[in-house]
Structure 1
Amino acid sequence: MMSCINCFHLPQDNSASTGQRTFLGFTSFSIRGFLRSKDSQSFSASFLVFSLKSAGRREGSAVEQRREGGNLHAAFSRTTDGVNEVGEVKVSHLQMEEEGEDRAPPEHKCPALCDALHGSIQDKENSPMMRAVLCAQVCKLYRFQTDDRRWLLVKEQMSETPLSFSVPKQLLSALVQELTSRVLDLRELGQLLPHWDGLRCDVITLCNHLIGCYQETLTEIGKLSASSCFKSSLSKSDRHLQFVPTNLHSQRMEVTSPGSAGVWYEVITFGAPADHHYGFKHGGLKRLLSKHHRSSSVSYSSDESCRARDLLVSVTHLQPLIFGLAEELLSISLEPRANRLLQVLDGLSQQVHRFVHALKDELVKSALLDIHGQCASSCSDSHVHSNGLLCEGSPPPSERLPEEAEYDEEEWDLTWTNVAKSLNCIIAMVDRLLGRDPHLQEQQEYSEDTKSYNTASPSSSSESSWQEQLLPLVITLRDCVREAVAKARTAMTFVVLQDAVGATVNQGPAQMLHRRHAVFSQALSAVVCGFVLKLYGGLEDPEFLQQLLTVGILVQFEGLLSTYGEEVGMLEDMEVGVADLRGVVFKVTEAKTEQPKDLLPMLRGTWGSFVVEVPLPPETFRSLPEELKAGCLIRVESILFNIGINQQQSLAERFGDSSLQENLNLQSCKRLRTYCNALRDALPHMAGIQSLSESLSSLDRSVEAKRRKNVEVLWTAASVCRLVNGVRLTSCKSAKDRTAMSVTLEQCQVLRERHALSQQHFSTSLDCMRRNGCRMDNVQKNVGNRRFAFSAVQLLTFPRLYRPPDGSYG
């Protein structure tokens, strides 16, 4: 016989994040009297409610046990003036079946289980890392019987996380910075022809609009995050909370078996990443993006755009240096000083070599080809360069001749080669003037190659000054450099402009881009939370750390959305958001201190290439493999399986279309198999890897069966995810009702499959978790009552194992 006392300490203000607690009140009761107050039956619970007396000056410990007259008393604390009632506490006890005669008495086992649970709470749950990313925890304790009539101690924990607001704020800041930088880059491109200037104006207008929206959102989120870590389901359409995930929680379960340490299982629950503010009248992101046609077939990556900007900076910096050294060379040649002349010539050679090296980038040539391909037809009837751009230093269109119809691919190579040859011409002339080279043939040949101006002949060299002989060669060098700079600037301007257009205008209207960023933010916040908890739990597992290095982390989303009505749009949003996560990578870093603010993940980078840095305390960081300490990036493989389970899905299967769900599950199944095959090749001896083939085959059969509401797809996918140490996430519309049914079912299935939960007690355990567990508290904090939002008629269409117990819904 064992009694379980739940003590709840409420945080004061925002003290939960710092670990401080506020003493509210106390109560005491006789354990013996409590046990005798009700008739206990096997596997049934008894409850009594005690009033809390107000807390005056506190003496003694926060939780105290004492014996008086053979009765065990439990109290929150001793006070000197507790009189008024300030609340109540519900105390429960569970009467368990007696063990067999051949087993040790329960009293010899229960203390060991409690000690194991207590140790895990103290060592890991209260670590600085866990306190940094989890807050406002709700815990429930259960004892369930196994097949061999032993007992499992199960701790169910649901927590909020400051990452709900921290990640969106960082993402918004990064987007504002990226958009601002893009506007500055475009404004620095100089004068452009009307067509290209119009595109630039479109991009700048769109960017400025998004910057204004995001800055406003960032301000509002900053106000809310100071007092909360949670966005309720009632706020999912709030304009200022579009980037914040709805009802994001970590759902964790620790299972302690007799003679073994506790094992943790985690699921991240949150409302499906979707933009409820803009709504789903015209569908979700998948449909909206498919309707939008890109206006340009030429696109460049962000890396190429970055290279283009660097090259623009380089040639802009080198051109005046080359011109200045050339002028200095001419000045010195008036009063020849050999040492100084050679010194300046050496400096000129170095700068020209740097200039030529920069121009050899193949990006310049490919951009010039793209420009010609895009603009040749539009420029055929006008006196405009085929580059379509009017750059600084170029003559106006009226003074230019039409380009040749055929563009010579070697034209650019000849341009930068002429720069090098003109330098060689100057070097040869200086050598001749200094008496180092009596042969003049090289000088004459080079003058022909570069089409230089009239150069001094051998017969006139003694009659003219050194400056007069160097001047035409310097002029030739300047002309060649100026021509190369003009073409390079044209090409790189085109790259920067096309990248900006591709990242904004070509993605659709501002509302669509805003929607995509918001959906991505919700999904990213949940994934960061899941990855951090998975990393913390696997820091002592060498195989898991090696898995991160070799194949990355699997992130498996479970959707319970129907393919009917508005939820189709939600699923379309979710699919795009999950796919965008594949551009995210994680990186482990060393934290400065163990303060919560220094242990929060940091987001860096730009759209499509974000890096999430996860800080670890110095001592923990030093124990990691060298590759992780060196900054090795951990890639993300994100997949989504969806099975609608409500009455709307019944309508979709009978009268609508479920092809979106079917195609999504087929694609995710293929990606999952690819990941598992890569893992098997990289770590063939990893625990659990041998059972992957059978599980994947079972998943293939379930997906291809196309049965109505085939929830076995979800069960098998979740099982595979756990086998490969993946991050599990579960979503429905708001993560309140259907999600509660899913996570409680998953917890009981884990207990049955991995911890031998008695089959005859499976349904009882499931009902217990749903009626009295953490998910009921989740319902209350979202809508203010303790009932799931189902009707009896609706539940008739639900799969049997997803129906809550009587009295818990309505």
Structure 2
Amino acid sequence: MLSSAQISSECYDVITVGAAANHHMSFKHGGLTRLISKHTGSSPLSFSPGEASRARALLASVAQLQPLIFGLSEEVLASSLELSPTRLQQALNRLAYQTEQFVHALKDELVRSTLLAIHTLSLAPSRGHAPIPNRNGTLGNHTSANQEGLPAVVPEYDEEDWDRTWANVAMSFNCLTVMMDRLLGREELTPDLMSSPQQEATSSYVSSYPGGSRQDQLLPLVLTLRECVREASQKAKAAMNVVLLQGALAASHHHAPALTHRRDAVFSQALGVLVCGVALKVYESLDKPEVLLQFHTAGVLVQFEVLLSTYGEEVGMLEDMEVGVSDLSGVAFCVTTATSDHPDHLLPTLRGTRGSLVVELRLPGETFCSLPQELQAGGLIRVCPVLFNIGINQNQSLAERFGDCSLQDRINQENCELLKSYCSTLRDTPSGGAGQDIEQLLSSLQSSIGSKKRKNVEVLWSAASVCRRVNGVRVTSCKSAKDRTAMSVTLEQCVLLRDEHTLRHTHFNTALDTMRSEGCRMENVQKNVGMRRYAFSRVQLLTFPRIYRPPLGTYSSSRHADTERHRQRDK
């Protein structure tokens, strides 16, 4: 089936695992998403796990980009004292890129909506609602102005206030660009940098500065840019910290020990998968320093592909898994030197506390010395976990026709935003992961999520392709990681053979059937249930997407499967 002259060798990892959920505590009252929402229902602010992950990602971006912008602005001022226009322009170009990334991060709708919610809550007492606590935990006295019977003075709030805040950053940089063009003898400005009204305002703004040396004319504009960046950073950090604090409050609710126990049980399962996947990815990349530097700079993407339905108990499993995967964003990795080559001394170890764990990956001394200096110095590898779910079985058909798919839709949309945010940070990494093909895949992913197509497995395919392109960790899961997972993994294997290793299109279905009937997934079924049969029935498979159906002779009805399993055990 493969042309021997064109075969290339490559290793593709995929981890299969059952749903990270607390099956022991059952799902009578739902999973973690619903239970946490109930316990925080009295709070006027409530955020989903996906929004908490976006908040962490945005805080990390701001913490990284703000000092970069400040440092590059100093470089621009220093370059202005020299006589080399080229060096000055190069410094400005670097500043332009980082400022663009900063503005792109701030344009997240989560910041705007959170700031608006905070301001609305600050007015709650004057509207008859419960007061909100101050930082010291005491209740704020918002009605002091009304003690004499005078009307309370309520500050006006414009919903576009946040939009103006980040737009001021772009405007201040545009002013700097115009001044630079004048100093270098270029009066024109690239049309796509700003609109006509902005050009007029910027020209007027720049013209107000008196003449002098290059540095004297650039200094006020650089200071304005830095002040705008500082103001935007403070507002964004304040809003995102509210999101994270609200999640922490839900996680440590002292009236719900069962909830904390459930969350810990789910997190421990997700953590085991994460350590396995990241460790494998780091070991595979020991001879790829550009990939290791990417992990240090932007973090490592961990993509969970889930095939749970949004009907019955699997809704609770998906809710558990959503929170468990989101909690992984609080985990980081570092690489240390092992004391010896003994296998016990090479095992990963944990340190830290709940919500802030560091996993130490131990390497032999010679291997450790080959790592990039940033990792040898103790630099952390952050984690960006994302989860995409598409139900494919008969229960999902019931959910789509008579039930509710809003949980799946929300999860996919929120994690698509997380994935786009991660990819946007890759442009400044040594591996240069944000190529044109990734932009097209992200666009295709967004379109698939927004479509109303039932069981749109193209969402999973696009997300998996992006993960592979950015050297991410792939995890595939269903309820037991046995049947539906087997269909997905074997399909992915054949797609990789076709797209990357010249498997002929005419042999695709044959290879797919062979992998499902004779490959390691059938061995996995044998070890789990004692027989070489997937737990599908012919009627159930009629509701599956055609490409996820196993070949004849590899499945039987669930009742027949149970009978055969008990017979094997009796033997």
TM-score in terms of structure 1 length = 0.43
Q: Could you tell me how far 1:373 is from its partner in structure 2?
A: 2.1
- CA separation in 2, counterparts of 1:765 and 1:598? 41
1:695 lines up with 2:441 in the alignment:
yes
Q: Which residue of the partner structure matches residue 773 of structure 1?
A: 519
Local SS of the residue matching 1:809: coil
Q: Could you tell me how far 1:809 is from its partner in structure 2?
A: 0.6
Choose from 354, 362, 365 the match for 1:615: 362
Choose from 572, 586, 605 the match for 2:352: 605
Alignment-mate amino acid for residue 383 of structure 2? V
Q: Which residue of the partner structure matches residue 490 of structure 2?
A: 744
Q: Could you tell me how far 1:632 is from its partner in structure 2?
A: 0.4
- CA separation in 2, counterparts of 1:295 and 1:788? 46
Q: Could you tell me how far 1:673 is from its partner in structure 2?
A: 0.6
Choose from 465, 477, 493 the match for 1:731: 477
Alignment-mate amino acid for residue 473 of structure 2? V
1:749–1:627 distance in 2 versus 1, CA, 3 Å: same
Local SS of the residue matching 1:612: strand
Q: Could you tell me how far 1:295 is from its partner in structure 2?
A: 8.0
For CA contacts below 8 A with separation 6 or more, give which structure has more relative contact order: 2
Choose from 382, 386, 389 the match for 1:639: 386
- CA separation in 1, counterparts of 2:410 and 2:464? 19
Choose from 452, 458, 463 the match for 1:712: 458
Deviations 1:148-179 (A, max 9, x none): xx149xxxxxxxxxxxxxxxxxxxxxxxxxxx
- CA separation in 1, counterparts of 2:254 and 2:399? 30
Kept in 1: contact 2:427–2:434 (CA 8 A): no
Local SS of the residue matching 2:360: strand
1:281 lines up with 2:28 in the alignment:
yes
Deviations 1:272-327 (A, max 9, x none): 100000000100000000000388999xxxxxxxxxxxxxxxxxxxxxxxxxxxxx
- CA separation in 2, counterparts of 1:708 and 1:642? 13
Number of residues of Structure 1 aligned to a counterpart in Structure 2: 366
Deviations 1:216-267 (A, max 9, x none): xxxxxxxxxxxxxxxxxxxxxxxxxxxxxxxxxxxxxxxxx54x4x210011
Choose from 659, 684, 688 the match for 2:406: 659
What value does the CA root-mean-square deviation take over the aligned residues? 2.4
- CA separation in 1, counterparts of 2:419 and 2:485? 23
Alignment-mate amino acid for residue 551 of structure 2? P
Kept in 2: contact 1:294–1:507 (CA 8 A): no
Choose from 763, 768, 774 the match for 2:509: 763
Local SS of the residue matching 1:530: helix
Q: Which residue of the partner structure matches residue 677 of structure 1?
A: 424
- CA separation in 1, counterparts of 2:399 and 2:462? 23
1:296–1:705 distance in 2 versus 1, CA, 3 Å: closer
- CA separation in 1, counterparts of 2:294 and 2:10? 20
Kept in 2: contact 1:771–1:808 (CA 8 A): yes
Local SS of the residue matching 1:289: helix
Q: Which residue of the partner structure matches residue 722 of structure 1?
A: 468
Choose from 128, 134, 138 the match for 1:373: 138
Alignment-mate amino acid for residue 315 of structure 2? V
Q: Could you tell me how far 1:690 is from its partner in structure 2?
A: 3.3
1:370–1:760 distance in 2 versus 1, CA, 3 Å: closer
- CA separation in 2, counterparts of 1:650 and 1:589? 49
Q: Could you tell me how far 1:627 is from its partner in structure 2?
A: 0.8
Kept in 2: contact 1:271–1:732 (CA 8 A): yes
- CA separation in 1, counterparts of 2:263 and 2:410? 21
Local SS of the residue matching 1:676: helix
Alignment-mate amino acid for residue 406 of structure 2? S
Alignment-mate amino acid for residue 614 of structure 1? L
Q: Which residue of the partner structure matches residue 787 of structure 1?
A: 533
Local SS of the residue matching 2:553: coil
Structure 2 gaps, min length 5: 46-132, 143-244, 557-571
Local SS of the residue matching 1:561: coil
Alignment-mate amino acid for residue 321 of structure 2? M
Give 1 or 2: higher strand fraction: 1
Kept in 2: contact 1:543–1:686 (CA 8 A): no
Map 1:411-422 onto structure 2 (within 5 A). Answer: none
Structure 1 gaps, min length 5: 1-144, 153-256, 299-367, 378-497
Kept in 1: contact 2:426–2:433 (CA 8 A): no
Kept in 1: contact 2:303–2:472 (CA 8 A): yes
Alignment-mate amino acid for residue 706 of structure 1? K
- CA separation in 2, counterparts of 1:524 and 1:534? 15
1:297–1:595 distance in 2 versus 1, CA, 3 Å: farther
Alignment-mate amino acid for residue 610 of structure 1? L
- CA separation in 2, counterparts of 1:655 and 1:755? 43
1:588–1:783 distance in 2 versus 1, CA, 3 Å: same
Local SS of the residue matching 2:447: helix
Q: Which residue of the partner structure matches residue 519 of structure 1?
A: 266
Q: Which residue of the partner structure matches residue 174 of structure 2?
A: none
Local SS of the residue matching 1:621: helix
Alignment-mate amino acid for residue 462 of structure 2? T
Q: Could you tell me how far 1:507 is from its partner in structure 2?
A: 5.6
Choose from 321, 324, 330 the match for 1:577: 324
Which protein is bigger by CA-based radius of gyration? 1
Local SS of the residue matching 2:23: coil
Q: Could you tell me how far 1:595 is from its partner in structure 2?
A: 1.3
Local SS of the residue matching 2:334: strand
Q: Which residue of the partner structure matches residue 104 of structure 1?
A: none
Q: Which residue of the partner structure matches residue 628 of structure 1?
A: 375
- CA separation in 1, counterparts of 2:269 and 2:460? 22
- CA separation in 1, counterparts of 2:303 and 2:138? 43
Q: Which residue of the partner structure matches residue 301 of structure 2?
A: 554
Deviations 1:692-736 (A, max 9, x none): 111111111111113100001001100000000000000000000
1:566 lines up with 2:313 in the alignment:
yes
Deviations 1:760-795 (A, max 9, x none): 100000011110100111111111111000000000
Kept in 1: contact 2:338–2:362 (CA 8 A): yes
Local SS of the residue matching 1:539: coil
Q: Could you tell me how far 1:596 is from its partner in structure 2?
A: 1.2
Deviations 1:500-537 (A, max 9, x none): x9587626511111000000010110111011111111
Q: Percent identity?
A: 61
Give 1 or 2: higher helix fraction: 2
Kept in 1: contact 2:27–2:316 (CA 8 A): yes
1:293–1:593 distance in 2 versus 1, CA, 3 Å: same
- CA separation in 2, counterparts of 1:738 and 1:710? 15
TM-score in terms of structure 2 length = 0.61
Map 1:362-441 onto structure 2 (within 5 A). Answer: 370-371=135-136, 373-374=138-139
- CA separation in 2, counterparts of 1:273 and 1:661? 16
Over 6 Å off, 4+ runs: 294-298
Kept in 2: contact 1:689–1:724 (CA 8 A): no
Kept in 2: contact 1:557–1:638 (CA 8 A): yes
- CA separation in 2, counterparts of 1:507 and 1:664? 27
Deviations 1:360-380 (A, max 9, x none): xxxxxxxx9755724999xxx
Alignment-mate amino acid for residue 723 of structure 1? R
1:504–1:670 distance in 2 versus 1, CA, 3 Å: closer
Kept in 1: contact 2:442–2:466 (CA 8 A): yes
1:756–1:508 distance in 2 versus 1, CA, 3 Å: farther
Deviations 1:70-118 (A, max 9, x none): xxxxxxxxxxxxxxxxxxxxxxxxxxxxxxxxxxxxxxxxxxxxxxxxx
- CA separation in 1, counterparts of 2:337 and 2:255? 40
